[in-house]
């Protein structure tokens, strides 16, 4: 059943899920340079408390997509549940993770996970919960699956709350483009976002790298975070950024409030790109 906005009453936007199925099928990350993948992994997991996990820890990856993070997490833990609402994305992950016997795949949305409440030693969701209609509820559903005292790692798009006003205005203008581009058929959408990668991402990123090599500080430059990234990543992220129908953004304060409301405590944030990555622990009962 659909509500007045056309979305189902479940915490899922089907057009967005279908779009990510197309994205991960087109960019399955198998040609991403290995050193770059590990560098990205280290950035996202820099605040994750690996040392606190019990031996043979069981946990979950909510919104596993292509399985690129799960492939690096699984060898460190006892059992990993990979959950995604897209059958197409899950098939990409199935091929990638087939050699890992401790990985279990689940086709489910965030509000339909089959994991038992209070059963998991850890969880993470990177770049996913800002693409569901109710991010706070989605976060709470994830936390319910954790044992008391278990960590949860989350990455949500930031609302440029640590950027200058002109940067936020630039994003607002680009967001108008996203709304138009994301409504296009996938083939055209991919061509348009490839063009954005060629004519926007690559020149700005490489200009930032050149300027940095000459002694300039470039962290505040638009797209400077891509200065050492491959063109493949730029194409992937341009499609992700401009080709996704539902996108929500949050300030650091809003993310912390949602995490507390979901039942997490001892919250800490990564102080650097990507913004915002945070970890918290499920509050102990009683």
Overall CATH class of domain 14-159+249-282: alpha beta
| Residue 2 pLDDT greater than 90, yes or no | no
Q: Give me the pLDDT at residue 9, please.
A: 60
Strands (E), the chain: 58-62, 79-84, 103-107, 122-126, 151-155, 264-269, 277-282
Question: Can you give the residue ranges of every domain in the chain?
Answer: 14-159+249-282, 165-242
Find, among 151, 185, 170, 181, the residue nearest to 48 by Cα: 151
pLDDT exceeding 90 applies to what percent of the chain? 95
Whether 207 shows a pLDDT value over 50: the answer reads yes
* Mean pLDDT on 198-212: 98
Query: Is it the case that residue 3 has pLDDT exceeding 70?
Result: no
SS3 56: coil
Identify the band that residue 187 occupies on the pLDDT scale cut at 50, 70 and 90. Answer: very high
User: Residue 75: its pLDDT value, please?
Assistant: 98
5 pLDDT more than 50: no
Q: Is 286's pLDDT higher than 70? A: no
Q: What are phi and psi of 230, to 5 degrees?
A: -75, 160
Would the pLDDT of 32 be above 60? Answer: yes
Q: Residue 226 has what DSSP assignment?
A: G
pTM confidence score: 0.94
Report the chain's mean pLDDT, rounded to a whole number.
Answer: 95
- Mean pLDDT over residues 165-186, rounded? 96
Q: Return the H-helix or E-strand segment holding 260.
A: helix 252-262
Q: What is the mean pLDDT of residues 33-59?
A: 97
Q: Is the pLDDT of residue 41 over 80?
A: yes
d(CA 121, CA 136): 21
pLDDT computed for residue 10 by the predictor: 86
Q: Tell me the helices (H) and strands (E) count for the chain, helix number first.
A: 10, 7
At residue 126, φ and ψ (nearest 5 deg) are -115, 115
Is residue 83 classed as helix, strand or coil in its secondary structure?
strand
Alpha carbons 110 and 249: distance in angstroms, whole number: 18
The string of DSSP letters for 114-170 reads -SPTT-BSEEEEES-GGGSS-HHHHHHHHHHTBPTT-EEEEE--B--TTS-HHHHHH
- The closest alpha carbon to 136, from 151, 122, 125, 146, belongs to 125
Q: Is the pLDDT confidence value at 77 over 90?
A: yes
pLDDT band at 4 (very low <50, low <70, confident <90, very high): very low
Average pLDDT over residues 78-106: 98
Predicted confidence at residue 225, as pLDDT, reads 95
pLDDT 10s digits, 116-155: 999 999 999 999 999 999 999 999 999 999 999 999 999 9
Q: Which of 13, 33, 18 is nearest to 90 (CA)?
A: 18
**Mean pLDDT within 6-25:** 85
Model pLDDT, residue 282:
98
Q: In which band, very low, low, confident or very high, does the pLDDT at 285 lie, cut at 50, 70 and 90?
A: low
The answer for residues whose C-beta is within 8 angstroms of residue 66's C-beta and 6 or more apart is 24, 27, 28, 29, 89, 92, 93, 96
């Amino acid at each position: 059943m659909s509500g007045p906005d056309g979305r189902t009453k479940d915490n899922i936007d089907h057009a967005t899920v279908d779009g990510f199925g197309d994205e991960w099928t087109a960019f399955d990350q198998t040609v991403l340079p290995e050193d770059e993948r590990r560098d990205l992994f280290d950035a996202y997991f820099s605040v994750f408390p690996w040392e606190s996990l019990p031996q043979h820890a069981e946990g979950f990856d909510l919104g596993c997509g292509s399985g690129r993070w799960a492939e690096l997490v699984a060898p460190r833990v006892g059992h990993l549940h990979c959950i995604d609402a897209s059958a197409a994305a899950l098939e990409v992950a199935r091929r990638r993770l087939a050699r890992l016997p401790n990985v279990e795949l689940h086709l489910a949305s965030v509000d339909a996970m089959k994991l038992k409440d209070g059963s998991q030693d850890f969880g993470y969701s990177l770049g996913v919960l800002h693409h569901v209609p109710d991010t706070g509820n989605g976060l709470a559903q994830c936390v319910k699956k954790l044992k008391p005292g278990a960590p949860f790692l989350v990455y949500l798009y930031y609302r440029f709350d640590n950027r200058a006003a002109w940067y936020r205005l630039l994003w607002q203008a680009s967001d108008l483009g996203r709304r138009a581009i994301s409504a296009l058929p996938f083939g055209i959408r991919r061509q348009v976002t490839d063009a954005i990668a060629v004519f926007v991402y690559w020149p700005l990123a490489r200009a930032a790298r050149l300027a940095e090599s000459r002694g300039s500080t470039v962290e505040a430059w638009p797209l400077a975070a891509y200065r050492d990234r491959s063109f493949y990543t730029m194409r992937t992220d341009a499609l992700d950024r401009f080709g996704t129908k539902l996108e929500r953004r949050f300030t650091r304060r809003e993310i912390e409030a949602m995490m507390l409301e979901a039942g997490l405590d001892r919250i800490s944030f990564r102080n650097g790109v990507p913004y915002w990555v945070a970890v918290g622990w499920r509050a102990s009962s009683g």
